[in-house]
Amino acid sequence: MRRAEVREAAAALFNDQRNPFGAFSLGSETHHAVTIPDAVRRCRWIAVDINASAFGLYFVSPSPERARLVAGFDSDYPGTAVATKFISGANGEDVVRHSRISTAPRWWVDGIAGSRQVFQSLAWAEEASPLAPGTNGIAFPVHADRGQCGLVVFLGSEIALSDETLCEIHARSFALFAAVARIRPGDAGRTRSMSKRELECLKLTANGNTSEEIAKLLKLSVHTANQYLTQSTQKLNAVNRNQAVAKALRLGLIE
């Protein structure tokens, strides 16, 4: 199924049935304000519906050379789950490249083997390498306005899905990601001005560079690079660098 068809399916489902954001629809420019805690709650509802034990929403990093996933939130919000550290690392490169060109869900089994039978029964889903070791899960590629794309991931040893429910869950994931991506207008007005260097450091962090690599690329000391990252994290009212990067991506400060 092409991206446009998935978006149409999402719009039809949410206009007529289970729109989790009230007036919001994929074809509408106006919707009720959504916050990250709202989105976490809605994602948890989806997880409950498919019997998943954990979840996460991720943005694709802007760099075409260093494919990486940046966590918007996960089921340990406002903290960060251990699985997210693996998903945001090198394990995500293959599925990131896939999500840029396809909307086909990807599943994996690296835990209880019984899940394999459930996933293999899905006609429109492909097997992939595990995003986190020792887990079973499924990742739904999602896209939003301004070319943003990402994944909504569900983990669990007893996930319950069928061909009939797969499209609905994907549509709900699409709507969820689109709503999170559109948080930009309300937040942008409250964000303190960012310097060019701060944005450069954030973008390089999004691409997976360490402080040492950023310092080398920008011809700075490691201390100065860390200062820029600390300042940008504070200005974005984020808890850490990863949350700062995710918020900068949502706000369109880095692309």
pLDDT of residue 237: 80
The upper half-sphere exposure of residue 165, i.e. CA atoms within 13 Å in the direction of its Cβ, equals 12
Going from the C-alpha of 165 to that of each of 31, 90, 114, 138, 153, the distances in angstroms are 25, 30, 19, 13, 16
pLDDT of residue 208: 77
Phi, psi of 61 (to 5 degrees): -65, 155
Cis preceding-peptide flag for 133 (omega within 30 of 0): no
Determine the angle formed by the axes of helices 196-206 and 241-251, rounding to 10 degrees. 110
Q: Which residues pair with 136 in a beta bridge?
A: 109
Express each pLDDT in 141-188 by its tens digit: 998 877 788 899 999 989 999 988 999 999 999 999 988 887 754 444
pTM over 0.85: no
Q: What percent of the chain has pLDDT over 90?
A: 24
pLDDT of residue 245: 83
Q: What percent of the chain has pLDDT over 70?
A: 78
Place of tokens 């690329």: 217
Across the chain, mean pLDDT equals: 79
Express each pLDDT in 199-210 by its tens digit: 888 888 887 788
Does the pLDDT at position 109 exceed 80?
yes
Express each pLDDT in 18-71 by its tens digit: 343 333 333 333 345 578 888 999 999 999 999 999 999 998 876 666 667 888
User: What distance lies between CA 245 and its chain's CA centroid?
Assistant: 12
Contacts of 15 (CB under 8 A, 6+ apart): 25, 27
Binned at pLDDT 50, 70 and 90, residue 13 comes out as very low
